[in-house]
Homo-oligomer: A and B are copies of this chain.
Amino acid sequence: MVNYQTAVLDRTFAALADPTRRALLARLDEEEGLTVSELARPFPVSLPAIMKHLDVLSDAGLIERTKTGRTVTCQLKAAPMEQAMNWLARYERYWTEQLDRLAAFLEEDSWQANPASPSSGASKRRRRSSSRPGRSRKK
């Protein structure tokens, strides 16, 4: 059902890998309809450099440019980010503490001590001896 468009993810993640481009998107989020030169102003690089970043963002479908007279306004198009989010969501359980606790529970001795209640999901999980290094809880 959720068929990941490889090329979309490639372009989206690549576009987001640059701090200048992320900052450009962030500015378009907080204020819509900024022009190219307005967007470029805060950055310590030349206008053509910003132009290239905008090209990358356009190619990734993350912005859209509209020419009006001699000015060009940019608007955020977040749609491709949804795919990126969905891809990442697959790994969400790794940092969700809820599941951390479940994992801790499954490791406990008291769990295997009672074979009277065979939980369906647990049988699939074949545990390797004890090769798990310390978990790093953050936040």
Contact = CB atoms under 8 A, between A and B. Distances in A.
A85 interface: yes
Interface string A1-44: 00000100110011011110010011001001100000000000
Interface string A72-88: 01001011011011011
A128 B19 contact: no
A91 interface: yes
A92 B87 contact: no
A128 B138 CA distance: 45
Copies in the complex: 2
Interface of A: 6, 9-10, 13-14, 16-19, 22, 25-26, 29, 32-33, 64, 66, 68, 73, 76, 78-79, 81-82, 84-85, 87-92, 94-95, 128, 131, 133, 136, 138
Contacts of A18: 10
A94 B75 CA distance: 12
